[in-house]
Structure 1
Amino acid sequence: MLLRRATVADIPHIGQLFYTTITEINSADYSPAQIEAWRGGWQNTAGWQAKLEAQYFLVAEAPDGLAGFASLCPDGYLDFLFVSAQHQRQGVARELLQALLQQAAALGLSTVHTDASRTARPFFAHHGFVVERAQQPVIRGVEIPNFRMVKPLTFLHSDNQL
């Protein structure tokens, strides 16, 4: 699998992966109305392009196509972490997360935070994120519960002795 920065040419594939992952994976944890509202902006090309330009946005390529994507804002907000239904439980999310955490360290950030879905909460907890609060954001008129989760970043400095 290859991780690389996303380009404008990736936008149709990113949008499709977003749509199908919410439809096929997140539907186990959310109602049909919530799924419909959540996936609603999947074809918003201008919105995706703005995210690509403003964020550290990565895609994971597998031999059979796009396996996942993830993004980090300069302030440490992990905006996206999606893996296709065909690539679940193959380490794709872990690799994307590691790359984002390395970027956060390079930026000198002390924490990374995200709004994790019910589906993603266990993954983030396994990787050291803690729930700060439960949330009820409204998207397209529908409440879609999630969790603000935070991961403190620790850095080892070369002058520290153990």
Structure 2
Amino acid sequence: MLLRRATAADAAGIGQLFYDTITEVNAADYSPAQVAAWRGGWQNLAGWQAKIQAQHFLVAEADGALAGFASLVPDGYLDFMFVSVRHQRQGVARLLLHALLAEAAQLGLQLVYTDASRTARPFFAHYGFEVEREQHPVIRGVALLNYRMVRPVFTPEPDTAS
């Protein structure tokens, strides 16, 4: 598994992985209307390129294919964490999270936070994030459910060998 900084050239692949993951993974936890609203805008290359430029944006590659991506805003907001349907439960998200937590520590941040989907909530909880509040953002006119979750940067993580 290769982790690297995303570049503008990754934008199309990131958008496609975003679309595919929401369609094939998150659809188990959200209605068809919610899935359609959430994944809308996935082809906005300029938007992805702006996020790549402004954030600590990482991609994970496995055998030359995009396996996942994640990003951290300088204030500690973990904006994206997506893993392709073909790479679920293979440690991709864990590797991305560890890299972003290392970046947060290097920035001197005390806390990281995210807006976790129903699907991602158990993953983040496993790695020490706690639910601060339930949220109902409206995206393209459709209400979704997510959770503001927070984690101190230096909290020891659970033993993943068990």
TM-score of the pair, normalised by structure 1? 0.94
Structure 1 unaligned blocks of 5 or more: 156-162
Q: Give the corresponding residue for 2:132.
A: 132
| CA deviation vs aligned residue, 1:3-50 (integer Å, no higher than 9, x gap) | 000001111100000000000000000000000000001001111011
Calculate percent identity across the aligned residue pairs: 74
CA distance in structure 2 between the partners assigned to 1:64 and 1:8 by the alignment:
17
Aligned to 1:158: none
How much has 1:128 moved relative to structure 2? Answer: 0.1
Structure 1 counterpart of 2:16: 16
Q: How does 1:110-129 map to 2 (within 5 A)?
A: 110-129=110-129
Q: Which residue in 1 is equivalent to 2:109?
A: 109
Aligned to 1:80: 80
SS at match of 1:41: coil
Deviating beyond 4 angstroms after TM superposition, the runs of 4 or more aligned structure 1 residues are none
Question: Can you give the 5+ residue segments of structure 2 that lack an aligned partner in the other structure?
Answer: 156-162
Superposition CA RMSD, Å: 1.2
Other structure's SS at 1:79 match: strand
Partner in structure 1 of residue 38 of structure 2: 38
Q: Which residue of 1 aligns with 2:90?
A: 90
TM-score normalised by structure 2 residue count? 0.94
Task: Output the amino acid matched with 2:32.
Answer: P
Aligned counterparts of 1:91 and 1:41: Cα–Cα separation in 2: 28
Cα distance per residue 1:64-103 (max 9 Å; x no partner): 5100000000000000000000000000000000000000
2:144 maps to amino acid: I
